[in-house]
Amino acid sequence: MMFGWFKNPPLPMNEIVRNYENTPQPSPKTALSEVNFLVLDLELTGLDAKKDHIVSAGWVPIRHQEIMLGDSAHYLVKSPIGVGQSAVIHGVHDHQLKTGMELCELMAMLLQSYPGYVLVAHHAQMDLAFLTMACERCFGRSPKFKAIDTLKIEWQRLHNKGKVLTRDMLRLSSCLERHKLPKAPQHHALADAFACAQLLLSQIRQHSSSMTLGELQNLSR
């Protein structure tokens, strides 16, 4: 499939993934205050990365344990299929996507703007599956994405307190309430990314602000 954006790409397609992969991630011994994070959220037509598609993306950088709102971003993404009943969840409709960004432009922007950043998401497995599939569709292959998962950190935190866990307790909205953080509009990619960024910083404070990246990664397993 050809996109108009391919006429003048910032880099040849085969170099975008390679450059992202070749940018080193911080070592596990790095203090969190020195780690750049990119908190992201995706809204989707469904839950199957092989047949469903991204319809919007939002991300919020964290640098020196501070949310960089001025560098946050939100994009609608053109989809080759209609949003169907998923519009009930995320509120994005087919007519809005006609002026959205091409998927490959979005992925190129993400990979070229944030190499070396540590990705963060709530229920990260889902987002990473869609990012991987998007890269394979656009570039023929994908980096091996990894991410800090605030859902898993929260599960670990509650488990260590001896809590009996239910699925609802790990929803982003429930986590925000437990951490006494502001409620956010649900299923808006940028709002959810911002809420996840706040949750991550709260989780870090509850453990230790002097943690290393490796220690945080262990909490996220």
> For 76-86, how does the pLDDT look when each residue is reduced to its tens digit (9 = 90+)?
999 998 888 78
Residue whose pair of structure tokens reads 């935190």 in the numeric block: 157
The answer to whether 135 and 49 are in contact (CB under 8 A) is: no
Is the pTM higher than 0.85? The answer reads yes
DSSP 8-73: S-SS-HHHHHHHHHHSPPPPTTSBGGG--EEEEEEEES-S-TTT--EEEEEEEEEETTEE-GGG-E
Q: Is residue 83 part of a domain?
A: yes
Whole-number pLDDT of residue 209: 72
Asked whether residue 1 is domain-assigned, the answer is no
pLDDT value at residue 91: 77
Vertex 145: Cα angle to 93 and 101 (nearest 5): 30
Examine residue 16 and state whether it is found in any structural domain, yes or no.
no
Instruction: For residue 4, tell me if it sits in a domain.
Output: no
Total domain count for the chain?
Answer: 1
The CATH number of whichever domain residue 125 belongs to comes to 3.30.420.10
Report the share of the chain in percent with pLDDT over 90.
77
Q: What is the pLDDT of residue 112?
A: 95
Residue 182 belongs to a domain: yes
d(CA 73, CA 104) in angstroms, rounded, equals 16
Please check whether residue 219 is in contact with residue 153, taking contact to mean a CB–CB distance below 8 angstroms. yes
In a domain, 17, yes or no: no
Q: Give the chain's largest Cα–Cα span.
A: 56
**For the chain, which residues score pLDDT lower than 70?**
1-13, 87-88
Cα–Cα distance for residue pair 105/164, rounded to 1 Å = 44
* The one-letter amino acid at 28: P
> Is 74 among the domain residues?
yes
Query: How many Cβ atoms from other residues are within 10 Å of residue 8's Cβ?
Result: 6
Residue 189 and residue 17 in contact, taking contact as beta carbons nearer than 8 Å: no
Domain holding 182, by residue range, is 32-219
Torsion sign, CA atoms 191, 170, 120, 128: negative
Query: Does residue 3 belong to any structural domain of this protein?
Result: no
What confidence score (pLDDT) does residue 49 get?
Answer: 96
